[in-house]
Structure 1
Amino acid sequence: MKKWLFPMSVLLATSTALSGCYGGGGEESSTGSEGGDASSIKQEIVVNAMSEPPAIDPAIATDTTSGWVLDHIFEGLYTRDKDGNPVLGAAEDVQVSEDRKTYTFKLREDAKWSDGSAVTASDFEYAWERVLNPETGSPFAFYMYYIKGAEEYNKGKGTVEDVGITAVDETTFEVELNAPLGYFDSLLTLWTFYPVQQKAVEADKNWAAEADTYVSNGPFEMTGWQHDSNVVIEKNDDYYAKDEVKMEKVTFELVNEATTYYQMFKTDELDLVMTLPTDVIESEKENAEYKEVPYYGTYMYMFNVEKEPFTNAKVRRAFAMAVDRQSLTDNVTKAGETPAYAMVPGGAETPAGDFREVGGDYFEENAEEAKKLLAEGMAEEGWDVLPEVTLMYNTAENHKKIAEAVQEMITNNLGVNVKLANQEWGTYLDTTKQGNFQMARMGWIGIFLDPVVNLDYYLGDSPNNRTGWVNEEFDSIMAASKVEQDPDKRYEMLHQAEEILMTDMPFMPINFYKNTYLVSQDYENIAYYVNRYPYLKWAEKTK
């Protein structure tokens, strides 16, 4: 039986969509409505990105805010169609060797940079080598470890000449993998694999910090960046498929306060907002402008296993068992999120069925058992009093309300007083990266629907794993799964890895995401992906 002792006064409001770190397609286009001929309508849209993008640089970005902009202003060898499926982008053709380890891409001859110059195979080679260069410090370099020699070079144990990426000529780019990889096309849609123009990067080390030094190759180009205010992108007339792009201008406003951006939508200052205040969700669900979209990711609190009291696994599990996730999703977030008792969300299909359904839950809420575990953990450490605990979150109304609810649940179910602290997103990322926290909010969105990208977060050498947790068995199983060609064996390995992770619990999952949006009905053909924010390449204003 689950026994709960906390009052419900704290269960107030806000949704849980991630304001930081990762389908359905749009409707078929119509060429007009009561507003008249779409060709006479000013094709502009204003959306809210909430927070300042920490790094609009393909090699450095790890968060979904930066990624939202990057996905519009760059294009990789593969891109996505309206349904989110990988399709060729800057490449017009690909040949795969018989052993499925060598990919030879032929670039489009009309692929151009926003300054009008040609995108070449050398640009891809330079960009990928830049990601792998240890001096770059790319947090997502490990996504390239599938490539021959990439891991060795990135870890300082090999040379760049040994990396299996080669610009054969101006339009031919060859990639050699360590082993066949069935999801390589999906992987290449991630911004880490976008090209960058060598001339622009080498001309100014801060090339990606301002609009006037920015060069890109996507359907849009950056034309303005007023820091902490907005980012402006406009249609790239040098894009090879510019005729598919209807929007002339997209403005990403950076308004973090939920009530403010909600009112801005209501007064037509914003055309698209996400992460609605929860006190309006119920009333807005009947609104034709309201949308709910599944989001393939996990909202969680990381434990720093190198800082007391979370050096003890029983203490970590006690905290996790003291939180009533169903009450959180029903009364705090209210957007239909799924309570999470594991790392990998639902949505990843395997030969045996949905990965989450097959794997099941790894723990349940139980206040009495949580108290016993806490007492045992304290006894093991010789603590008469639990070291003081501070829970950190990045500044946003939604995170604040969830943290307050979790704080009260832990206090009432464990008798532990938890302090709260918050920081702006960019500062927060630096703080957690440096390990200056005990317990901290984080979210992780899979770049494609496969458990490997969720579990990769907790690899011992992953720069994204900020918990200090390293488990050699976990790392070994994850590595083996990436070269295993039998799907049944591969997914069984991933289940084994998740079980190890959930036994040690260097984090506690809270819920699996669902995004809530309000979108003006003046717009059509916006693509809503399950692991990216809305894509506006085909968006069109019809009124």
Structure 2
Amino acid sequence: MKKWLWSLAAVLMLSSILAGCSGGNDEKASGTSAKNVKQELTLNALSEPPAIDPAMATDTTSGWVLDHIFEGLYTKDKEGKPVLGAAKEAKASEDGKTYTFILRDDAKWSDGSAVTAQDFEYAWKRVLNPETGSQFAFYLYYIKGAEEYNKGKGPVENVGVTAKDDKTLVVELNAPLGYLNELLTMWTFYPVKKELVEGNKNWAAEAAGYISNGPFKMTEWKHDSQVVAEKNENYWNNKEVNLTKVTWKMVTDATTYYQMYKSGELDLIQTLPTDVVAQEESNKEFKNVPYFGTYMYMFNVEKAPFTNAKVRRAFAMALDREALTKNITKAGEAPAYAFVPPGVETSKGDFRKAGGEYFKKDAAEAKKLLKEGMAEEGWTTLPEVTLLYNTAENHKKIAEAVQEMYKKNLGVNIKLANQEWKTYLDTTAQKNYQMARMGWIGVLLDPAVILDYYLGESPNNRTGWKSEKYDSLIAQAKVEQDPDKHFQLMHDAEKVLMEAMPFVPVYHYTNTYLTSPKFADVVYPYNRYPNVKWAKKVSE
């Protein structure tokens, strides 16, 4: 494997040891014995997880829970590097296309039964089964025969995933993939227990009877209220797990969950209310962490007025991103004039800086483009536009600011509408919208995992836009072993995307957090929500 591939795939992480109440996490200083501290942590998931099923989850909320209750062949260490998880050994063939994984003898399910290679084979082929309807199946297309099976063009027998025995899993790839270990830490590659899944089609809808193999096990799911996970004593590495209980509340209103944190009802919150970020920045409990993703508004290119490329570009150029990030979001976000965020190092420097910006804010040019686009379509007035966003205070504030900017800079009055997250995902998947908010986070630090979003066959691409040239460039880039050529193909693909503009990039993410000083060893990934596998409560 080439060294550059390993380095670009290593997702940066930030790990923090937080001070105890009296200025340090020394047990004597805090006045509390570790044995007497109740090892329970309460988080805020912000919303109901749409799917706590490795095959069906497509969002960071569901992924947050899954990352704590499951474990793949690889997992992450405290520094965010991929390390062996349920597997104890991995061997690659000389050509880098075949991997043999040997599972740990002590890898067990939460019910105490052994995790087997057959569980992994079954889980991955379940993701690929067209009848499953997994929207993240394309992440397995690196595997021989996977894409053909998923698209109904080949049999499951041709998929290059085979359990040779209970502890040996052989994976055949189409081409060498330097970041395979990183990819296999993603929840889509987690195992599931065949007997459980096939014995109950609703196995993942409730906590009762739920079985997983991670550091925690789900013990309660009160829908639209909370998810509770407790320490999994059958987890092979349970000695590293300090918490006995983790609770995810589901509070969408930012002011409410901020007040709950201040009152001690929540121990960690993210996405702080925009009006409190400035006052909290000097607080030792505050963190601002880069997040490898982009906040955007998708266009439905099959519905007027966004069937016209000039109209789409006009809407992109009319936004004042600097004003949005400075006055509305206030969390140090970088205004976005492209899709791929900063954070990927290349021989020419950061990928984003090397690629540059594809447009700029220009109200006059935006009005001109809007007029030209309307003339091309024969519209004397612009069709009515509704901007849809998922229910959350911060999304509402941004949408209201965007509404005002379009009125001021384009002379266009748009309507706003909102829906709860699960309903919202269904609505946008059905393309029952004109313009809708979305965010996309890369599962590893490579432009490919960002640009994958707008592949023609990607179920995440809810815009209706397709480009054979774009798809071809990304396909070439994924198997290109020369780093400079790999990144150049990514730049070429992004250029095609930004010329078509099926979306409006708004800003590149950061995440703002407040974490109680009663807790230590919480890890803050650059592409996931906080990992509390190693977290411990150091004082009451």
Contact 1:31/1:38, CA 8 A, preserved across alignment = no
2:90 pairs with one of 75, 88, 94: 94
- Trace 1:17-96 onto structure 2 (pairs within 5 A): 23-27=13-17, 32=27, 33-96=29-92
CA shift, 1:391, in A, is 0.3
Partner residue, 2:171: 175
Partner residue, 1:237: 233
| C-alpha distance in structure 2 between counterparts of 1:380 and 1:250, whole Å | 56
Contact 1:41/1:542, CA 8 A, preserved across alignment = yes
CA shift, 1:28, in A, is 9.3
- Trace 1:195-214 onto structure 2 (pairs within 5 A): 195-214=191-210
Partner residue, 1:271: 267
Task: Provide TM-score, normalisation by structure 2.
Answer: 0.96
CA shift, 1:27, in A, is 3.0
| C-alpha distance in structure 1 between counterparts of 2:31 and 2:44, whole Å | 24
Partner residue, 2:442: 446
- Trace 1:449-468 onto structure 2 (pairs within 5 A): 449-468=445-464
Note closer, same or farther for the CA distance 1:514–1:28 as it changes in structure 2 (3 Å cut). closer
2:160 pairs with one of 161, 164, 170: 164
SS of structure 1 residue aligned to 2:113: coil
| C-alpha distance in structure 2 between counterparts of 1:168 and 1:233, whole Å | 33
1:481 pairs with one of 455, 460, 477: 477
- Trace 1:141-156 onto structure 2 (pairs within 5 A): 141-156=137-152
Contact 2:18/2:518, CA 8 A, preserved across alignment = no
SS of structure 1 residue aligned to 2:265: coil
| C-alpha distance in structure 2 between counterparts of 1:515 and 1:465, whole Å | 24
SS of structure 2 residue aligned to 1:482: helix
Partner residue, 1:529: 525
| C-alpha distance in structure 2 between counterparts of 1:487 and 1:258, whole Å | 42
| C-alpha distance in structure 2 between counterparts of 1:164 and 1:349, whole Å | 32
Matched, 1:504 2:510: no
- Trace 1:34-433 onto structure 2 (pairs within 5 A): 34-433=30-429
CA shift, 1:287, in A, is 1.0
**Matched residue type, 1:442:** M
| C-alpha distance in structure 2 between counterparts of 1:388 and 1:437, whole Å | 12
Contact 2:126/2:132, CA 8 A, preserved across alignment = yes
| C-alpha distance in structure 1 between counterparts of 2:486 and 2:372, whole Å | 36
SS of structure 1 residue aligned to 2:220: strand
| C-alpha distance in structure 2 between counterparts of 1:137 and 1:539, whole Å | 35
| C-alpha distance in structure 1 between counterparts of 2:16 and 2:85, whole Å | 19
CA shift, 1:85, in A, is 1.1
SS of structure 2 residue aligned to 1:373: helix
Note closer, same or farther for the CA distance 1:107–1:28 as it changes in structure 2 (3 Å cut). farther
Partner residue, 1:515: 511
Matched-pair identity in %? 68
In the alignment, structure 1 segments of 5+ residues that lack a partner are 1-22
SS of structure 2 residue aligned to 1:329: helix
Q: Which moved more, 1:223-232 or 1:36-45?
A: 36-45
SS of structure 1 residue aligned to 2:508: strand
| C-alpha distance in structure 1 between counterparts of 2:306 and 2:213, whole Å | 45
| C-alpha distance in structure 2 between counterparts of 1:347 and 1:163, whole Å | 34
| C-alpha distance in structure 2 between counterparts of 1:39 and 1:362, whole Å | 57
SS of structure 1 residue aligned to 2:407: helix
SS of structure 1 residue aligned to 2:389: strand
Q: Which moved more, 1:392-401 or 1:348-357?
A: 348-357
Contact 2:18/2:517, CA 8 A, preserved across alignment = no
**Matched residue type, 2:14:** G
SS of structure 1 residue aligned to 2:266: coil
SS of structure 2 residue aligned to 1:276: coil
SS of structure 2 residue aligned to 1:251: strand
Partner residue, 1:5: none
Residue-by-residue CA offset, 1:268-317 (whole Å, 9 max, x unaligned): 00000111111111111111111111100000000000000000000000
**Matched residue type, 1:476:** S
Contact 1:35/1:542, CA 8 A, preserved across alignment = no
CA RMSD for the aligned pairs? 0.9
**Matched residue type, 1:403:** A
CA shift, 1:31, in A, is 6.1
Contact 1:31/1:37, CA 8 A, preserved across alignment = no
Residue-by-residue CA offset, 1:376-406 (whole Å, 9 max, x unaligned): 1011111111100000000000000000000
Task: Provide TM-score, normalisation by structure 1.
Answer: 0.95
Partner residue, 2:467: 471
**Matched residue type, 2:178:** G
Contact 1:26/1:82, CA 8 A, preserved across alignment = no
| C-alpha distance in structure 1 between counterparts of 2:174 and 2:523, whole Å | 34
- Aligned residue pairs: how many? 521
SS of structure 2 residue aligned to 1:293: strand
Contact 1:101/1:178, CA 8 A, preserved across alignment = yes
**Matched residue type, 2:537:** K
Residue-by-residue CA offset, 1:105-161 (whole Å, 9 max, x unaligned): 000000000000000000000000000000000000000000000000000000000
| C-alpha distance in structure 2 between counterparts of 1:66 and 1:444, whole Å | 14
| C-alpha distance in structure 1 between counterparts of 2:31 and 2:57, whole Å | 39
Note closer, same or farther for the CA distance 1:95–1:368 as it changes in structure 2 (3 Å cut). same
**Matched residue type, 1:26:** S
**Matched residue type, 1:292:** N
Residue-by-residue CA offset, 1:465-498 (whole Å, 9 max, x unaligned): 0000000100011111111111111110000000
SS of structure 2 residue aligned to 1:209: coil
In the alignment, structure 2 segments of 5+ residues that lack a partner are 1-12, 20-24
CA shift, 1:36, in A, is 2.2
